[in-house]
Amino acid sequence: MTESRPATSGTIAETTAWRPAAHFTARATWLNDPNGLVYHRGTYHLFFQNNPHGSSWGNISWGHATSTDLVNWTELPVAIPCTDEEMVFSGSAVVDHRNTAGFAADTETALVAVYTSATTAADGTGRQAQSLAYSVDDGATWSRYAGNPVLDIGSAEFRDPKVFWYGGDDGHWVMVVVEATEHRVVVYTSPDLKTWQRVSAFGPAHATGGVWECPDLFPLRVAGTQETRWVMIVSLNPGSFAGGSGTQYFVGDFDGVNFTPEHLTASDQLVDYDWLDYGRDYYAAVSFSDVPDGRRFMVGWASNWEYAGETPTSPWRSSMSLVREVDLVRSPDGRHRIRQRPVLPNDASRLDLPPGATAVASGGDSATDDGGAADDGGAAGVLVFSMRVDAGDSATFVLDGGADGEPADGEGLRITVDGNAGTISCDRTGAGDTGFHPAYASVDWAPLPPSDDDADVELRIVVDASVVEVYTGDGLVALTELVFPARPYRRLTRG
């Protein structure tokens, strides 16, 4: 299927220029949420909500890609295709080391995917229940479990199971799954992935202006200590801080049954809650299972349901975020906040921006005057701009497609740090093609993280074709924004 709407200048080269290098895209099709993130035998598996037959949402199946470095991904055949009866909605994957489900013979180890079967009941109403598929060839091929679904409460709004093993040999499986319209994450336990018992629930809490989706729950280290806290991730659509889809989180404790947050506020202000990302384009973020050494990597879908179906690329549509390594930082106010650090390609161009200067990426292919992009139409690869803003100072940086010494052509992403107000903002109202959907053009902002009064604000801006990720406060605040410029961004100027 071709996209419903042509790109601004209607060229294939243009959408090629918008295809990021290190943010995963499907070769020629639609994607949304990351699913089944798992590390197994030296390989990271990224499954994803995929329409194998088009560039719009539909025929939802689990696409599949693998990587050994979390940056370079290889797309593989669809892992779990939809059928006439069932779409394969979001979920997770585990390595069944103890063969609790009995899917593995002798020397085999089973990977088990736990996903939401989205079906239509005889009376025409939707039905969402949890089902299993398994692989005994390290993820190459997948079979549905004959006893599906394994968890069905007769609901049309019950989805996105995230499963993990809790405890040692005497432990059990835990599933967190949402009752989406109830704003509730429900906890189930199981000895074998096939029989599940409801043991507790968390929510409603904090943002509830839309459905709750794609929960996650995992232990996370507190930087510089031997301590661990548990983190509950809850995606919300619509009703997020930036508008539309977004991902909030809660830090607390989990005892195998109950999750207890360490901080809940009675405030009804979205700014008082904790958000993984304050931009418009970071949703359904979940973490990898089974990564060695207790490390935790997350990835989100770099789009927003408000306009995801209209973004002007073809034939691929939507990308993942960069993979981010996360840990917790104890803030001066005693609360714990998630710190995120993107996994960057080794060949990223790293540019430091001294005060008052301009940084322009060289190498890669340069933009041409006719608004297209040179060579194969690709962008300049991944660029990482780093800079500092003096404490109390205010500064605007303009990211655009200009060359050294050339005046700005007016198109660009404007990033402003306001030291007095304690905010950072991204203005994409003039960032390129903004006309594909009325909800796209926006100015998004975040509070700067708590810090010593006289500390500089440090900024890192990662540019990868149509995805810009902005990090400040050492990764305590992130903003992810899609941009569709006529010329790939490669210059940053202090305005």
Q: Which CB, 245 or 472, lies closer to ligand FRU?
A: 245
Q: Does 32 bind ligand FRU (CB under 6 A)?
A: yes
Rule CB under 6 A: choose which of 33, 75, 96, 481 binds ligand FRU: 33
Q: Does 75 bind ligand FRU (CB under 6 A)?
A: no
Rule CB under 6 A: choose which of 89, 142, 158, 397 binds ligand FRU: 89
Q: Which CB, 155 or 386, lies closer to ligand FRU?
A: 155
Nearest to 320 by CA among 288, 351, 281: 281
Q: Does 60 bind ligand FRU (CB under 6 A)?
A: yes
By residue count, the chain amounts to 495
Q: Does 160 bind ligand FRU (CB under 6 A)?
A: yes
Q: How far apart are CA 283 and CA 160, in angstroms?
A: 13
Give the burial string for 311-327 (b: 16+ CB within 10 Å, else e).
bbbbbbbbbbbbbbbbb
Q: Does 327 bind ligand FRU (CB under 6 A)?
A: no
Residues 367-426 that bind ligand FRU (CB under 6 A): none
Judge contact between 216 and 241, C-beta under 8 A: no
Burial class (CB in 10 A: 0-12, 13-18, 19+), 405: exposed
Residues 187-226 that bind ligand FRU (CB under 6 A): 213-214
**Amino acid symbol at 493:** T
Q: Which CB, 153 or 257, lies closer to ligand FRU?
A: 153
Q: Which residues are catalytic?
A: 33
Q: Does 116 bind ligand FRU (CB under 6 A)?
A: yes
Count CB atoms within 10 A of the CB of residue 42: 8
Q: Does 259 bind ligand FRU (CB under 6 A)?
A: no
Rule CB under 6 A: choose which of 16, 90, 287, 321 binds ligand FRU: 90
Q: Does 276 bind ligand FRU (CB under 6 A)?
A: no
Q: Are strands 383-389 and 349-352 parallel, antiparallel or unpaired?
A: parallel
248-to-60, 233, 283, 436 alpha-carbon distances in Å:
25, 6, 10, 27
Q: Which CB, 182 or 365, lies closer to ligand FRU?
A: 182
Q: Does 80 bind ligand FRU (CB under 6 A)?
A: no
Judge contact between 142 and 93, C-beta under 8 A: no
Beta strands in 238-363 (DSSP E): 246-254, 259-261, 283-287, 297-301, 324-330, 336-342, 349-352, 358-360
> CB of 216: closest distance to ligand FRU in angstroms?
13
Q: How many residues bind ligand FRU (CB under 6 A)?
A: 12
24 contact partners, CB below 8 Å, separation of at least 6: 46, 48, 65, 73, 319, 320
> CB of 242: closest distance to ligand FRU in angstroms?
16
Q: Does 284 bind ligand FRU (CB under 6 A)?
A: yes
Q: Does 179 bind ligand FRU (CB under 6 A)?
A: no
Q: Which CB, 45 or 460, lies closer to ligand FRU?
A: 45
Nearest to 22 by CA among 302, 401, 254: 302
**Amino acid symbol at 358:** T
Residues at the site binding ligand FRU, with contacts judged by CB under 6 A: 32-33, 49, 60, 89-90, 116, 159-160, 213-214, 284
